[in-house]
Structure 1
Amino acid sequence: MTLGRYDYERRYRRRMWTGVGKFGLLLVLLLGVGLFSYQMGIEQLKGRDVTLREENAALSRQKAEYELLASQMQHAARVAEAKAAELEHRLQREVPTGDLARLTHLVAERLKAGLDANRLAFVIQQAQIPRNCQQPETKRFSLATPLLKGGTRSVSFTNGTVTVAGEGQSSRDAQGNAESWFDPTQPVTIRITGIGGKGTTVSGVLPLHQSLVIDNTEYRFTFVAGQRSFVDVTADRCPFP
């Protein structure tokens, strides 16, 4: 009786410890699987964090590039607007309108038709607001040249109140030899002298214009090339001022 009960208790204890061992083994296994899963989760989280950081960095770089591009485009737009405003202002300032446009068109037509630009400029310069002036007087005189210096080479107006004289460069023939008369394509010098020694000088290629005021009278002269060796001079006398 005692032996049988001993065997039963020993077998019971053995089965109990075996169950405890199995449970412990299962618990260890479960803890290992849990720790492994936990570690894998941590590694995945670390990997995702690295990926998110890289994506965030890439997005930040793209944002900076887009902001720089937007700034450059805004600057380019402001520059373009400024240039457009400048061109519009220049267009309004330089392109003739109204009466000036009509006159510009007429001048262009005359030049296209072959009218000499100097002649056209002379006509325009002669167009002035009417003043209480005397009837213009036109005379001629010959210009002195290096080969033609002697004799009287002047002309006077208003009973000798004003005297006009001048000199130019000698014209040349086909062989290049100097001639007595002046060359109208070369600059000339015209001297205007009034009573009492008051005078003025004008130089350049004809036609030329010059004024001189003597005793409350303004003498306005226009010089153009006349027949060979001569200059035609027209004098206007107007009250001054």
Structure 2
Amino acid sequence: MFKWVFVLSLLGGLGLTAYGSGSALSERALRQAREEIGRLQEAIANFERENAALRTAAEVARMREAETKQLYEKDVPAGQRKVLLSLVDEQLGQGAKADRLRFLISAASVKEKCDGEPVTKRFIVRTPLYDGPASAVQFADDALTVTAEGTPAVDAQGRVLAWYDPAKPITLEIARLGRPPDRLSGELPIHHAVVVNGSEYRLSVVPGERRGFVQVTSDRCRFP
């Protein structure tokens, strides 16, 4: 009997010891889990702060890009403004006076006054296979001569023809007495203005109704 009491007491003590040890382990594991959760929450908070800072930095960068683009578009010419400024620089480089250019630009705002009686003429566009008569026209009492060169047309069999292809660019030459000719290249229609004998002649060049021809319409206007 005494032996059984001893054995039961021993087993009970072992059980209490095991329970105490298990309880301590559970508390430590719970504490470690809570600490890990705390670290994760802090990491998440740091990530969110960094993410917010990155979003702010990205927004600032976009605003600066927009401002830079606006300043660039304001200071760097484009389109027609670029073309006009290039012409001004070219004229200044050729010795034109700034006061003269300023006067001409200011005169552009004056109400236009043209004859209103345009004159239309036609001529044959020269090609490597044709350089004969009827390949020029004159305006302004023969002080203004217009000629053109084009790319030969090709038939369905691939043979090169004598007349020009109106769908391809041509080179237009506008010659004035005592001055170097103006050369313009491009697809038709082509529009250009020149000054001859104190008047401005506005020229419009379009494909002619007959094969190989172009039509030039000239209107004389006051200058400046």
Give the TM interval when normalised to the shorter protein. Answer: 0.5 to 0.7
Q: 200, 203, 209: which one pairs with 2:185?
A: 203
Bigger Cα Rg: 1
Q: Tell me which residue corresponds to 1:190.
A: 172
- Following TM superposition, by how much is the alpha carbon of 1:196 offset from its aligned partner in structure 2, in angstroms? 1.4
1:49-198 to 2 correspondences below 5 Å? 51-52=30-31, 54-72=33-51, 75-76=54-55, 79=58, 131-134=112-115, 135-198=117-180
**TM-score, structure 1 length as denominator?**
0.54
Identity score, percent: 34
AA matched with 2:46: E
Q: Which has the higher helix share?
A: 1
Q: Report the CA distance shift for 1:140/1:51 in structure 2 as closer, same or farther (over 3 A).
A: same
Verify: 1:223 aligned to 2:210, yes or no. Answer: no
Question: For structure 1, which runs of at least 5 residues remain unmatched after alignment?
Answer: 1-39, 90-128
Q: Supply the distance in 2 between the matched residues of 1:130 and 1:183 (Cα, whole angstroms).
A: 39
Runs of 4+ in 1 over 6 A off after TM superposition: 43-47, 80-86
AA matched with 1:239: R
CA RMSD between the two structures = 3.8
Whose RCO is larger (CA < 8 A, sep 6+)? Answer: 2
Q: Supply the distance in 2 between the matched residues of 1:53 and 1:82 (Cα, whole angstroms).
A: 43
Question: For structure 2, which runs of at least 5 residues remain unmatched after alignment?
Answer: 1-18, 71-109
Query: Counterpart of 1:193 in 2: which secondary structure?
Result: strand
- Following TM superposition, by how much is the alpha carbon of 1:48 offset from its aligned partner in structure 2, in angstroms? 4.8
Query: Counterpart of 2:46 in 1: which secondary structure?
Result: helix
- Following TM superposition, by how much is the alpha carbon of 1:206 offset from its aligned partner in structure 2, in angstroms? 1.1
**TM-score, structure 2 length as denominator?**
0.58
Q: Tell me which residue corresponds to 1:213.
A: 195
- Following TM superposition, by how much is the alpha carbon of 1:143 offset from its aligned partner in structure 2, in angstroms? 1.0
Q: How many residues align?
A: 162
